[in-house]
Copies of this chain bind each other. A is one copy, B any other.
Amino acid sequence: MTTARQLQALLDGPHAALRAETRARLSQLGLEKGDGLARDDYRDLVLEWAREIGRAGDGARSFPVAYGGQDDPGGRIATFQTLGHGDLSLLVKMGVQFGLFGGAVHRLGTDKHHAAYLRDVGTLDLPGCFAMSESGHGSDVRSIRTQARYDAEAGEFVLHTPDETARKDWIGNAARHARLAAVFAQLDVAGEAQGVHAFLVPIRHLDGSVVEGVEIEDCGEKMGLQGVDNGRLRFNAVRIPRDNLLDRFGTVSPDGIYSSPVSSPGARFFTMIGALVEGRICIGGAGLAVARNALTIAVRWGERRRQFGTGLDMDTPLMDYLTHQRRLLPAVCQSYALQAAHDHLTQSYVDVLRTGEGQREVEALAAGLKAVATWHMVDAVQQSRECCGAKGYLTENRFASLRADSDVFVTFEGDNTVLMQLVAKTLLSDYAAQFEDLDAVGMVRHLTTRQAGRVLEDLGRSFKRADLHDPQWQTTALEFREDRLVDALARRLRTLVKAGTDPLRALSQCQDHALAAARAHVERHVHQLFRAKATTPLLEQVRNLAVLSTIESDRAWWLEHGFLSADASRDLQKQVNVLCADLRPHALILVAGFGIPDALLRAPIAVDPQTGGAGSD
C-alpha cells in the first residue's frame, strides 16, 4: 500500500526539507491578506512577502556563499516550484528579483558586481528588474534594439531607446519598486556592433524618484498577477559608468577596446540568453504546482459533492462518474510523471552550471518541458474548474485567480509554440549530426535496428492487451513515434530545400510537423524518466494511466503508422477507462501526495473529506 507520505516524498525529491520549510513559511504569511487589496497596496504587500521569504534563504539561495548565498541553484528551483502553490504574484515577483535580475548580476557579472550588489539583491534591499523584452520583438532576443554606445572620452556607456518598438516592455518590478535594471542592449564600441550585452542602469533613487533620462510607465491592468508591477522603460541617452557593463562574456577597456573570452558573437549571444533557461525551468515547475492546486480542489470536491437524481444512486459522489474520472485522473497521473522530468531537468541544469557541458540539451529540454508543463496546467485548471461547476466559479474557491494569474505562463519566458520549434530545431540538429556519414539506406537501417522492425513484427497478430501495461511496450510506442516524426521531418525539409525552398520557409511549411515531433520527444522523455520512478503497484498504475492517456489522445498517429491496429486502439481506450476505475479509490491519496496545505489551497470546497481539512503537511 503506497501512502500519501510516500507519494509526497517522491514528488518532493531531494529537496524535501527545503520544500517543507517553504510550505510552512508560505502558510504563515497569511496569503488571504492579499485578497481584494487595492493594486498598489497589494504590490507593496507582495514586496514585503518577497523580502520575508527572500531573507529566510530563498533570495540568495543560488548565489555564492561569499555573498550570503548557499550556492544551491537546485534548491532554489525546488523552493520556487513550491511557491507555485501559493500566491502567484509573489512567485513571479521573486522570480524577477532573485532569478532574473539576481541571475543576470550573478551569471553575467563578475566579482566586482557580485561584491557590490549580490548581498543586497538577495535580501531585497536592492530591488531590481530584468529589462530584456521590447515592444517590437517577440521571443527573439537577437532583435533587441536598445542602444548602448561606449563613450571612451567619458568612460561611460550611453543607453538609448531609439523608438517605440525598442522600449522595454513587460518588465516585472519596473513600474513601482526596482531601483536598478539589468538592461539588455546592442553594444556599440567605436562604431562596431558587438551584439547584445547586459548593463546595470539605475532607474530610481533611494527615495523612489525616477532617475533623469529614464521614463517609466505602468503596463496597465492585467488579466492576473496584479501584485506584480510590470512596466515599460525608455532611456534617453542615459549615462552609466563603464563598470556597469556585466562583463563576464565581453568587456570594454577604458580606452574602448572590446574583448571577449567567447570567440564568436553568435556564441556570446547564446551564452547571454542562457540566463533565460533557469527562468523557463522555474516556470515549468511552477506550472506543475498550479495544476496540482487545481486538481486537488477538484478531486476533493468531486469526492464530497453528491449528484442527486441524475445517475446511479441518490448519493453518488461525482468522482464515481466515468466522465469525471476521465477529466481529472489522467491529469493527476501526468502531474506525477511530469515532476520526474522536472526533477531530472533541474539536476541536469545544475550539472551544466558545474561542468559547463550539455548546455544545448538542457536548453532544449527546458524549452520543451516549460511548454508541455504549462499547457498541461491550462488544461488541468480548466477541467478542474468545470468539474466544480458553479462552486468553481466563486472567487473563494480559487480557480479565478489560479487561472488568471497562471495563464501568462504559456506565453511568457518564451511563447510555448516558439519554444516547441526550438525543441524541433535541436532534434533536427541531433538528427543531422547522427546521420552525417549515413546515406538514406544507412538511415533506414539504423531506424530498423533501433526498433521499427521489431515493432512492426510485434503488431497485429501478436499484440496482446497485456502489452499496454508493459513499460517496455509503452517506451517502444513513444520512441517509435518520436523517431518516425523526426526522421520524416528531416526528409521533408531536405526535399524542400533541395528543391530550392529557403530553409526558414521550409521549416515554416512544416511547422505543425515540427510541433508534433517536439511534443513526441518531450512525451517520450517524460515517460522514460517517470518509468524509473514508478516502483510500487500504485505508481505503476499511475504510469500506465499517464502514458496510455497520452497515447490515446494522439492514437490516430499510431494507427496511421501501422503501430496500433484498430482493435488495439480500441483496447487502449478501454484500458484507460479500466485504469480510471482502478485508480478512482486512490484519488484522494494521489492528491494528498501533492502535499498542499489547506492554508495554501484556500478553497472552502477543498476541505479534505478524510482529514476534515487538516491537510497532509
Q: Which residues of A pack against B, CB within 8 Å?
A: 36, 133, 136-140, 142-143, 169-170, 219-224, 305, 307-312, 320-323, 326, 378, 382, 385-386, 389-390, 392-396, 399-400, 403-404, 407-408, 410-412, 415-418, 421, 502, 504-505, 507-509, 511-512, 515, 555-556, 559-562, 566, 569-570, 573, 577
A318 to B: closest C-beta gap in Å: 8
**Are A569 and B560 in touch, CB under 8 angstroms?**
yes
Q: How far is the CA of A80 from the CA of B408 in the complex (A)?
A: 32
Known: A142-B309, A386-B417. 6 other contacts (CB 8 A): A133-B390, A138-B308, A143-B308, A310-B418, A312-B502, A560-B569
Complex Cα spacing A418 to B305, Å: 15
Within the complex, the shortest CB–CB distance from A170 to chain B, in Å, comes to: 5
CA distance A410 to B327 in the complex (A): 14
Contact A394 B508 (CB under 8 A): no
Contact check: which of B310, B400, B561 meets A223 at CB < 8 Å?
Answer: B400
| B residues less than 8 Å from A410 (CB atoms) | 386
Secondary structure of the A side of the interface?
helix
| Docked-complex contact B394 and A220, CB < 8 angstroms | yes
22 chain-A/chain-B pairs, Cβ below 8 angstroms: A142-B309, A143-B309, A169-B390, A220-B394, A221-B394, A221-B396, A222-B400, A223-B394, A223-B400, A311-B504, A311-B508, A321-B508, A322-B509, A323-B417, A386-B411, A386-B417, A389-B411, A393-B408, A400-B404, A404-B404, A512-B573, A559-B569
Q: Contact check: which of B138, B310, B322, B508 meets A512 at CB < 8 Å?
A: B322
Q: Report chain B residues within 8 Å CB of A555.
A: 556
Q: Which residues of B contact A140 (CB under 8 A)?
A: 307-310
A561 and B566 in contact, given A322-B511, A393-B411, A404-B400 (Cβ under 8 angstroms) = yes
Shortest Cβ gap from A534 to chain B (Å): 25
Is the beta-carbon distance between A411 and B390 smaller than 8 angstroms?
A: yes
Contacts of A404 in B (CB 8 A): 223, 400, 404
| Distance, CA A385 to CA B508, complexed state (A) | 22
Contact across chains for A308 and B221 when beta carbons are under 8 A apart:
no
With known contacts A137-B309, A140-B309, A515–B400 Cβ distance under 8 A? no
Q: A309 — which chain B residues lie within 8 A by C-beta?
A: 137, 140, 142-143
Which of B224, B390, B412 meets A408, CB within 8 Å? Answer: B390
The complex places the Cα of A393 from the Cα of B410 at a distance, in Å, of 11
Asked whether, in the complex, the Cβ of B223 is within 8 Å of the Cβ of A138, the reply is no
Q: Taking the nearest CB of chain B, how far is it from the CB of A61, in angstroms?
A: 28
Residues in B with CB closer than 8 Å to A142 are 309
Interchain CB contact under 8 A, A562 and B566? yes
Interchain CA distance A385-B411 in the complex, whole Å = 9
Given contacts A138-B307, A307-B138, A311-B504, contact A323 B511 (CB under 8 A): yes
Find chain B residues with CB under 8 A from A382 CB: 378, 382
* B138–A389 touching, CB < 8 Å: yes
CB pair B136 A308 closer than 8 Å: yes
Q: In the assembly, what is the distance between CA of A261 and CA of B393, in Å?
A: 40
In the bound complex, how far is the Cα of B36 from the Cα of A464, in angstroms? 61
Minimum CB–CB distance from A436 to chain B (whole Å) comes to 26
A416 in contact with B138 (CB, 8 Å): no
Take A223-B399, A310-B139, A408-B393 as given contacts and tell me if A570 and B566 are in contact as well, using a CB distance cutoff of 8 Å: no
The verdict on A577 contacting B223 (CB below 8 Å), with A307-B138, A308-B143, A408-B393 known, is no
Q: Which residues of B contact A386 (CB under 8 A)?
A: 410-411, 415-417
Determine the residue in chain B with the shortest Cβ distance to A320. Answer: B508
Complex alpha-carbon distance, A504 and B308, angstroms? 13
Residues of B contacting A305 with CB < 8 Å? Answer: 138
- Asked if B577 contacts A566 (CB within 8 A), the reply is no
Taking CB atoms, residues of chain B closer than 8 Å to A170 are 390
With a cutoff of 8 Å between Cβ atoms, the chain B residues found around residue A307 in the complex are 138, 140
Q: Which 3 A-B pairs have the closest CB atoms?
A: A223-B400, A221-B395, A556-B556
Chain B residues near A411: list those with CB within 8 A: 386, 389-390, 392-393
B residues in contact with A395, CB < 8 Å: 220-223
> Which residues does chain B contribute within 8 Å of A412, judged by CB atoms?
390
Q: How far is the CA of A311 from the CA of B385 in the complex (A)?
A: 37
Residues of B within 8 A of A562 (CB): 566
Q: Which of B169, B222, B223, B393 contacts A407 (CB 8 A)?
A: B393
Whether B560 pairs with A570 at a CB distance below 8 angstroms is yes
Q: How far apart are A409's CB and chain B's nearest CB, in angstroms?
A: 10
**A557 (CB) vs chain B CBs: closest residue:** B556
In whole angstroms, how far apart are the Cα atoms of A161 and B558 in the complex? 56
* Residue of chain B at shortest CB distance from A418: B310
Q: Which residue of B lies closest to A417 (CB)?
A: B323
CB proximity of A138 to chain B, nearest CB, Å: 5
Which chain B residues lie closer than 8 Å to A143 at the CB level?
308-309
- Chain B: minimal CB distance from A584 (Å): 12
Residues of B with C-beta under 8 A to A416: 386
A322:B569 contact, CB within 8 angstroms: no
Write out the residue numbers on chain B whose beta carbons fall within 8 Å of the beta carbon of A390. 133, 169-170, 408, 411-412
Q: Is the CB of B393 within 8 A of A222?
A: yes
List residues of chain B with CB within 8 A of the CB of A511: 321-323
**How distant is A165 from chain B, measured CB to nearest CB, in Å?**
9
CB distance from A483 to the nearest CB of B (A): 17
CA distance A400 to B404 in the complex (A): 8
For the complex, give the distance between the alpha carbons of A22 and B461 in Å: 63
